[in-house]
Amino acid sequence: MICFISARGLDFTPVDDSHLPPDTPIIVVLHGLTGGSYESYVRAILSPACVPLHQGGLGYRAVVVNFRGCAGVPVTSPQLYSAGHTDDLRQALFYISHRYPGAPLLGLSFSLGANVMTRYVAEEGELSRLKSACVLGCPWNLAANASKLLDTYIGRHIYSQGMGRNLVNLLKRHVGTFASDHDVAKAAAVTIALTKPTIDMFDEHFTRIGGGSSPPWPFASANDYYEYSSSHNVLNKVKIPLLAINAADDPVVQDVPMDAEGNGWIIMALTPCGGHLGWFEPDEGWGQIRRWIKRPVFEWLRATGDDFVRSPPHWRPLHEEGGFLKEVGIDRLGCKELDGSDIIVGTEGEAGLLAGL
């Protein structure tokens, strides 16, 4: 069992971290498509990572950045999230680095969240607030992978429809928020009326319009959104250590840029099997199934958190304006802590086929 203290969309663990030194590394996590901090693939890594060193863990802190609308996070503006919208992560990192100014921030992300995190570190380059990143099951070339997913019966009717249905269900829970915005409200109304929606149908009807801030949203088509949001075409801009792990038998991600555009900051790994965020193996001692991916991820986190020496980053300084925490030079963004927080204990998440991917 792993416990989180939730500050709106940010779930922190351990709940009581007063015993930890201020420079304890923090794992910053982005989950998959419609997931959250409750996902088993998230907890499989964070639960042991936040165990003290003398108990076999890393002794780190962690925070899961839940996408808006996911894991009980309210939607308070006419916008959801997408593979190409990085500002929610950017603002979360403002707050985390302000709250823990002496702590190195280590990125860990899954599937859709991996695409967002890769784009963030590429956009920021040497100014990235993440010291390193580990991305698992990243979709990379969104257009190519969407096309290949639809080429097979199981891809179209199981995976694409399963993920599309989960997105529509999430949209239904928050559709009332969009009533004041004509374009997004109209797109939402059309989208929730779809029958047997695939993920590309959801993107064509809603994400290209309501998946991010303007500009660059809205896009003329889902393909234009894919072209803008894909992470494979920005790898040359990454300037921090980045480990990317995909599986060759992943039914969702079938196009992986193994050359990493020749960027020496990036290590690309392709395992023979593992599916999409699986990487399971039997635990013979306990008669259970565990995720072996924890081992290389732990090695990476320990190496970049404890051993890798990075030149002092020249982050843009933070300042407060009108009660909002902002980064100098990015006036469009700001965040502030709301009164109250809740302790969340448990593992239950959203119901539905392929939830969290």
What CA–CA distance (Å, rounded) separates 357 from 166? 10
Catalytic residue among 11, 88, 203, 250: 250
Parallel, antiparallel, or unpaired: how do β-strands 342-345 and 330-335 relate? unpaired
Catalytic residue among 31, 85, 232, 276: 276
Does the annotation mark 276 as catalytic? Answer: yes
**Which residue is catalytic, options 37, 109, 111, 128?**
111
Q: Is 87 among the catalytic positions?
A: no
Rounded to whole angstroms, how far apart are CA atoms 307 and 320? 33
| Strand order from edge to edge, sheet including 330-335 | 318-321, 324-327, 330-335
Catalytic machinery residues? 111, 250, 276
